Amino acid sequence: MQNQSEVAVNSTTGKNVSVIVKVCVVIPFFCVFLYCIILMLHTFASHRQFFDSSRYILFAYMLVNDTLQLLSSVLLFLFVMANVNFAIVFCAPLLFLSTATFQNGPLILAAMSLERYVAIFYPLRRPVSWRPERIWVIMLSLWLVSCILPTVDFILMRPKANVDVLSTPVVCKTAVLNSSPIQTLFKVVVNGLFFALVAVVILFTYIRILLETRKMRQDRASVIKALHTVVLHGFQLLLSIMVFTFPITENLMVLYVNWAPEHIAFANYFCFVLVPRFLSPLIYGLRDESLRSHMRRAMPCSQARISPNKT
């Protein structure tokens, strides 16, 4: 009996240490991401010229969307790690936000690629909805489309017979709303259509801009820059798609790595959810010379170098 109790205590201690290590990895990582995003958004808010460009406005929208997506994802992760259970009525809004922002990400990339296409081919006769003062129409449309999947999940949701939506505590996971085979199939089809549509849009804009670079003799540099931007959007889309490699990577890890299932799930979550969401806005934002220079001046360490005696 004593040996059994010691084994149980050691197992519990090992699990607690594992949870602490995972939380200590995720939280600092998220804080660094949040600091960079806040710095970028502060830069946008402090300089009026960024609001005169549809491209920058869409990028700021992407920053807000990625922040909400990562925030909801980290909250769900912490709830699972802390073994916090609560009713579906409280869990559902967080899952809705997580799913909607995840769907919104690739749609924003498609809109940003189309914006570059419009800027190159219609520089003087830009459609009204793509102008900076009306770009909110595009953003609102993207948000409404991205809410389709979580809304259908709510409509098709069928809790178990012994689960009360208002009172029964449950683990806050997507399986709570996505438990039937019909829902799973619908989700796979919708995700496939979303990412295929975005890939087609990015490929279309890339080919059209590439063909345009061969025709133009003037302002060739701006067209090539737009071409590189579209390529970057394609790379960002690949980062988003990495989340769908979960089944493949889990099977590979089971074969070649002697890890517990929860450790494999965490490795997948960190590598294919957190890291891509962290890299995507940073790669795009830090690539922009104007935004990068303003961010450098806005950093506290940069401001500290300025002498207070200078006028």
80-123 pLDDT per residue, tens: 888 888 888 888 888 889 889 988 988 888 898 898 888 888 87
Mean pLDDT of the 1-16 span: 52
- Is the sign of the CA dihedral 161, 165, 167, 168 positive or negative? positive
Q: What is the CATH number for 197? A: 1.20.1070.10
Which three-class secondary structure state does DSSP give residue 257? coil
Which alpha helices (DSSP H) does the chain contain, by range?
A: 2-46, 54-81, 88-121, 135-146, 148-156, 181-215, 220-241, 246-256, 261-269, 275-287, 289-298, 300-304
256 vs 307: which has the higher pLDDT: 256
Any domain includes 201: yes
Any domain includes 242: yes
Which three-class secondary structure state does DSSP give residue 85? strand
pTM over 0.85: no
Domain count, the chain: 1
Any domain includes 229: yes
Any domain includes 297: no
**Adjacent-strand bridge partners of 255:** none
Any domain includes 310: no
For 23-60, the pLDDT digits (tens) are 898 898 888 888 888 888 888 888 888 888 888 899 88
- pLDDT the model gives residue 311: 41
Instruction: Give dist(CA 193, CA 283) in Å, integer.
Output: 26
Any domain includes 221: yes
Residue 2: pLDDT band by 50, 70, 90 thresholds?
very low
For 167-216, the pLDDT digits (tens) are 778 888 777 666 667 777 777 787 888 888 888 988 888 888 888 777 76
Helix axes 135-146, 88-121, angle to 10 degrees: 140
Domain hosting 184: range is: 20-284
Structure tokens at 117: 């296409």
